[in-house]
Homo-oligomer: A and B are copies of this chain.
Amino acid sequence: MSATTAVAPLRIGVIGVGRIGRMHAGLIAHQVPGAALGAVYDPHEPAARGVAEELRVPAAGTAAEIFDSDLDAVAICSSSDTHVDLLLAAAEAGKAVFCEKPVSLDLRELDRALGAIDAAGVPFQIGFNRRFDPAHASVREAVVSGAVGEPHLVRISSRDPSPPPLEYVKRSGGLFLDMMIHDFDMARFVTGSEVVEVFACGALRIEPSFAEAGDIDTALVTLVHEDGCLTAIDNSRRAAYGYDQRVEVFGSEGMAVSENPRAHTGSVLTAAGERREPNPYFFLERYLPSYVREWQGFVDAVKNRFTPPVSTVDARAPLVIGLAAGRSLREGRPVRIEEVQAT
């Protein structure tokens, strides 16, 4: 990484400008104090050019151009199967790197990539943006401050407004690695305690075609944490009322809750009762402030040379939990985390 001073902006190149990469590029360009968008790259050249023009930055012709440039950092937002190679390149180039999740669906590949990152000592942050949501973060703060005491029970519900296309699901790694992985991260984050055992139940209730991908669309998973805390996570690929994202930690002294925001705070009361708005529908609407704060966390860490707030260990643990959940579902029994670690 090139030298940066406290005042110079951190110049970031974005690799991959599909839906999520384009959003990250826009945030870096306009909404993250201390950051500047340096260049974008996408294998689909017109996409790169469109975003580059809109945001008035150069479009690189290859990913290598980004790594060879004098940019300070790289954001890896391309398709998941390219992440490992790009991380290896980032490690070699000595660039600070932000990587969308997952690093890989394969634990050995992930270990190879993160091993290189750790060996090179480059700053690394994985895109578990929900940690930066102000309401979810307030749950963590209530644990850290002692307000809820020792965590005993955690409830997490994550339900999408509508299922993705079958083609996406086929390449996704399945519900545990594609969707619930955010919740595995959340369970570790809010409790501050590692997971030691997983028991998973799942069903196909919404989208029968997912059977073709060997996947489920509805799941309930129990986690046992190292400190004895018990977590229940439920997921559904379709909540008719919109995006449902709730986190709750119950402890010896109280409970901290992150409830769903409403699309707006208007309501109408008539003889039929009170009618309020459904939840906001789309994850980018729901979590936009979290993405901005995620970037602030990355930029601050890189500039001030401390470890980014969600780093290699946090990129690895949820994958292991997800793999354990998959095995638990297949074998109909609780699975210890070390059974997966040993693989």
Residues of A bordering B, CB below 8 Å: 30, 56, 133-139, 142, 147-150, 152-153, 155, 157, 159, 199, 201, 203, 205-206, 218-220, 222, 224, 228, 230-232, 234, 236, 238-241, 244, 250, 252-279, 332-334
Identity of the chain B residue whose Cβ is nearest the Cβ of A149 in the assembled complex: B240
Point out the residues of chain B lying under 8 angstroms from A157, CB to CB.
Answer: 153, 155, 250
Known: A199-B222, A333-B334. A148 touches B268 (CB 8 A): yes
Identity of the chain B residue whose Cβ is nearest the Cβ of A157 in the assembled complex: B155
Copy count, this protein chain? 4
Bound CA span A149–B272, Å: 14
Q: Judge whether B271 and A273 touch: CB under 8 Å.
A: no
Point out the residues of chain B lying under 8 angstroms from A240, CB to CB.
Answer: 149, 252-255, 269-271
Known: A265-B135, A273-B276. A252 touches B206 (CB 8 A): yes
Bound CA span A110–B234, Å: 35
Q: Judge whether A218 and B230 touch: CB under 8 Å.
A: yes
A110 to chain B, nearest CB (A): 28
A203 to chain B, nearest CB (A): 5
Bound CA span A271–B161, Å: 10
Q: Which of B137, B241, B264, B333 contacts A255 (CB 8 A)?
A: B241
Q: Which of B159, B273, B277 contacts A241 (CB 8 A)?
A: B273
Interface centre among A133, A142, A157, A241, by most chain B C-beta atoms within 10 angstroms, is A241
Bound CA span A277–B138, Å: 10
Point out the residues of chain B lying under 8 angstroms from A241, CB to CB.
Answer: 254-255, 269-271, 273-274
Q: Judge whether A232 and B234 touch: CB under 8 Å.
A: yes
Bound CA span A278–B254, Å: 10
Bound CA span A137–B271, Å: 20
Q: Judge whether A232 and B230 touch: CB under 8 Å.
A: no
Q: Judge whether A250 and B239 touch: CB under 8 Å.
A: yes
A138 to chain B, nearest CB (A): 3
Identity of the chain B residue whose Cβ is nearest the Cβ of A248 in the assembled complex: B157
A159 to chain B, nearest CB (A): 7
Bound CA span A268–B185, Å: 21
Point out the residues of chain B lying under 8 angstroms from A135, CB to CB.
Answer: 264-266
Point out the residues of chain B lying under 8 angstroms from A275, CB to CB.
Answer: 272-276
Known: A250-B236, A271-B254. A205 touches B150 (CB 8 A): yes
